[in-house]
Structure 1
Amino acid sequence: MAYYPVWSADVLPPEHINFSRVDWIDFAFAMPNETFGLNWDGSDNAPGILMRLVNVAHQQEKKVKLSVGGWGGSRFFSPAMNNYNSRQAFVKNIALVYDQFHLDGIDIDWEYPARPGDPRNYVGSNDTANFLEFLRLLRTTLPSTARISAAVPATPFSDANGQPMKDVRSFADVLDWILIMNYDVWGASSNPGPNAPLSDACKNSTQPAASAEAAIKAWTAAGVQPSQLVLGVPSYGYISTSQASRLRQRDQNASLPYVHALTDEGADNGQVQFRELVRQGVLCRDATSPERYVGCGGFTREWDPCSSTPFLRSEAGQLITYDDAQSLELKSAYAKENGLLGINIFDVHGDTNECELLDSLRLGLGL
């Protein structure tokens, strides 16, 4: 599985996606608006791009879901879920888009019910209860063949008191699968940490819940079967200004301006795609290296054993936290060992043209 954001179409047109490596594509994003309809994120060309994506995917017998929300698109979720009438209107509008584009499913990426996300978001104490009622209505409105997923943080949904729910089986009953977003744990900082930790192997993190291992344990403890979980992994990293020689395992308190020596190619908030690290000569292929890539162009590749992720550092004071084929294979192998449904990468256009990240994920899954 992979996300395909609308803003990636210039770099990776839908027709150039290698569908032999994925079964599902999530088109990102449609955003709830103040009248409980949907706006498109990032481009007036989104409807045309989505239609092209659906057409080429279906030609290859692959499936497409529309992802609704995202970090910058969750502002109006709470009002849209607030009461029966708003939920009815919102579901009706989603169903219209579902039919219009011949979709195979809907992904709800609400960041986050009953807890802060983007500062512009509306947040209510009854968000999570309202979300469940919305999902039940969406389930009965869409065709029985439609797949419905939710993208979630490392800890279960917040209850009315702002605490993680201890039992989310009611959500599992109505969702086909739950995608754990195991990324953006640390961003850019003078004391950087890993973007997507596999685990807290050194037992010294002040964010011990923010790893793939901890998140899977938290959601299964709350009642979700592993076979209903998908692990979300990144194809991007963060550039920091830092002289650090190792990654911290402490909470991020302050961030610095992003360094744009490496271009973003459509990425958000100064993130850098893996393909850009390769294209700009910061990472070089090395067939003799078990890591498959080594640092070059003045960068040295290091390995953080606490999070099982690589990072790059330069004498000029740049440090890049990211994931590569080695770390992603470890994550997908962990997912397989623990009986998860699969892996979803955010996003497909961050991979190289040779699909090296997708291939590493498939290798870890035994495919």
Structure 2
Amino acid sequence: MGWFADWHSNFTVSNINWSGYNTMTYFTAQPDANLNVEILEGTSTLSQFVSAAHTNNVKALLTIGGWDGSMYWSSSVATAQNRSTFATNVAQFAYANNLDGIDFDWEYPGKQGAGCNIVSSNDTANFLEFITELRQQAPNLTLSAAVSILPFVDSTGSPTTNASGFAQQLDWIEIMNYDVFGSFSSVTGPNAPLDDSCSPNPSGSAKSAVAAWTAAGFPADQIVLGVPAYSHSFSVPSSTAAPNGQIQLYTSFSAANEPQGDAWDYIPPGSTDICGNPQSANGVFNFWALVGYGYLNSDGSVASGMLSTFDNCSQTPFLYDSNSQILFSYDDPQSFTAKGQYISQAGLRGFAMYEVGGDYNNLLISAINTAMSS
């Protein structure tokens, strides 16, 4: 599965490599204040997306939510009347647009995400009631949900110990195993660690997330591993990043000097987020940019002049450019191979890549597909 983000002028529906996927979800829509489904990012190419997906025998889903689209999730499912109305509106929207399913990306039930979302201690219970209602109204729709590395929180704010109700109503969940470390962290670290049980700074990983969700009653064969086609970067002086020429994985960085990411990370001066807070660069470099900007070669290997290491614990690579003094935590074909092998060994349902436009020459998608089938 892949998420297609509809806001890049140089990556449109016509650029999608459909052959690497059997499911694709359009990113993104949101619940508005009036219980309707609202497409984000202006002009929608949803109809073109659905048509192209079906032409290529790929299921077409729509994601509702995301970091910027979860403000009204809580209120949309807060009462029985709201749940019924919103379920009806979602079903009607899906059928009107010839969608095969809906992907929920509420960030996060019972917890604050962007900073100005409506939040209730009853969010998780209400979310399950809503999904159950939608399943009854539209039994033939595929229903999935993007989730964090810990199960939804219960009314006490702790991860639920029983997610089996969600497993009964959802076809699968996608564990968003990325952004484990980033500009928001206290130290540098892996963006998308496969394992952290061997780490000096354990903060969550694919393996710990799968263990947490299965322990809460969600079957492994209904779990899809979310994998990133992007990196996080950190501004770190050479003396800190690579003393004696060896990259330090967990080290301090200059949060005030966040690197400007690739062209997709451009923030117009004076822009604000959905909560009205000033926005700034977040240091995200997609995989294509690591190649295009000369950090990696066209086959995904490290370019000459760069320091690099592959962390055997997280099973992810790190790269350091001493000229710009930027440290990158990223994924490459080797780490995607490791993730694909894990998916197969653990009996997971598959993978979901955010976002499909981040790949370069299908290197990542080919690696993980090959690894899962070998």
TM-score, structure 2 normalization: 0.89
Could you list the per-position Cα deviations for residues 59-101 of structure 1 after superposition, in whole angstroms to 9, with x for gaps in the alignment?
1211111000001111111111100111122112212220121
Pairwise mapping of residues 1-367 of structure 1 onto structure 2 (< 5 A)? 1-8=1-8, 10-42=9-41, 44-46=42-44, 49-142=45-138, 144-188=139-183, 191-207=187-203, 210-243=204-237, 244-245=241-242, 246-248=247-249, 255-260=255-260, 262-264=262-264, 269-285=282-298, 292-296=300-304, 298-316=305-323, 317-352=325-360, 354-366=361-373
Distance 1:71 1:247 in 2: 30
Aligned residue for 1:184, secondary structure, equals coil
Q: CA deviation at 1:332?
A: 1.3
Amino acid at match of 2:152: F
Distance 2:341 2:3 in 1: 20
The 1:329–1:165 alpha-carbon spacing in structure 2 relative to 1, beyond 3 Å, is same
Amino acid at match of 1:277: L
* Alignment match, 1:289: none
How big is the alpha-carbon RMSD for the aligned residues of Structure 1 and Structure 2?
A: 2.1
* Alignment match, 2:276: none
Distance 2:66 2:219 in 1: 25
Distance 2:253 2:54 in 1: 45
Distance 1:181 1:261 in 2: 21
The 1:364–1:34 alpha-carbon spacing in structure 2 relative to 1, beyond 3 Å, is same
Q: CA deviation at 1:104?
A: 0.3
Q: CA deviation at 1:6?
A: 1.1
The 1:307–1:128 alpha-carbon spacing in structure 2 relative to 1, beyond 3 Å, is same
Distance 2:255 2:236 in 1: 11
Q: CA deviation at 1:333?
A: 0.8
Distance 1:168 1:132 in 2: 9
The 1:255–1:206 alpha-carbon spacing in structure 2 relative to 1, beyond 3 Å, is farther
Q: CA deviation at 1:206?
A: 4.1
Distance 2:259 2:266 in 1: 15
Any conservation in 2 of the 1:2–1:345 contact (CA below 8 Å)? yes
- Which structure 1 segments of 5+ residues have no match? 287-291
Distance 1:257 1:77 in 2: 34
Any conservation in 1 of the 2:234–2:254 contact (CA below 8 Å)? no
Distance 2:120 2:23 in 1: 32
Amino acid at match of 1:141: Q
How many residue pairs match? The answer is 352
Distance 2:253 2:296 in 1: 29
Distance 1:79 1:364 in 2: 42
Any conservation in 2 of the 1:3–1:28 contact (CA below 8 Å)? yes
Could you list the per-position Cα deviations for residues 111-164 of structure 1 after superposition, in whole angstroms to 9, with x for gaps in the alignment?
11111211111110000000010000111112x321000111111110000011
Amino acid at match of 2:3: Y
TM-score, structure 1 normalization: 0.91
Aligned residue for 1:283, secondary structure, equals coil
Aligned residue for 2:179, secondary structure, equals coil
Q: CA deviation at 1:281?
A: 1.2
The 1:266–1:19 alpha-carbon spacing in structure 2 relative to 1, beyond 3 Å, is farther
The 1:269–1:30 alpha-carbon spacing in structure 2 relative to 1, beyond 3 Å, is farther
The 1:164–1:254 alpha-carbon spacing in structure 2 relative to 1, beyond 3 Å, is farther
Q: CA deviation at 1:214?
A: 0.2
Amino acid at match of 1:223: G
Any conservation in 2 of the 1:231–1:344 contact (CA below 8 Å)? yes
Q: CA deviation at 1:249?
A: 5.2
The 1:173–1:54 alpha-carbon spacing in structure 2 relative to 1, beyond 3 Å, is same
Structure 1 residues 231-240 or 187-196, which shifts more? Answer: 187-196
Any conservation in 2 of the 1:247–1:304 contact (CA below 8 Å)? no
- Which structure 2 segments of 5+ residues have no match? 268-280
Distance 1:295 1:253 in 2: 23
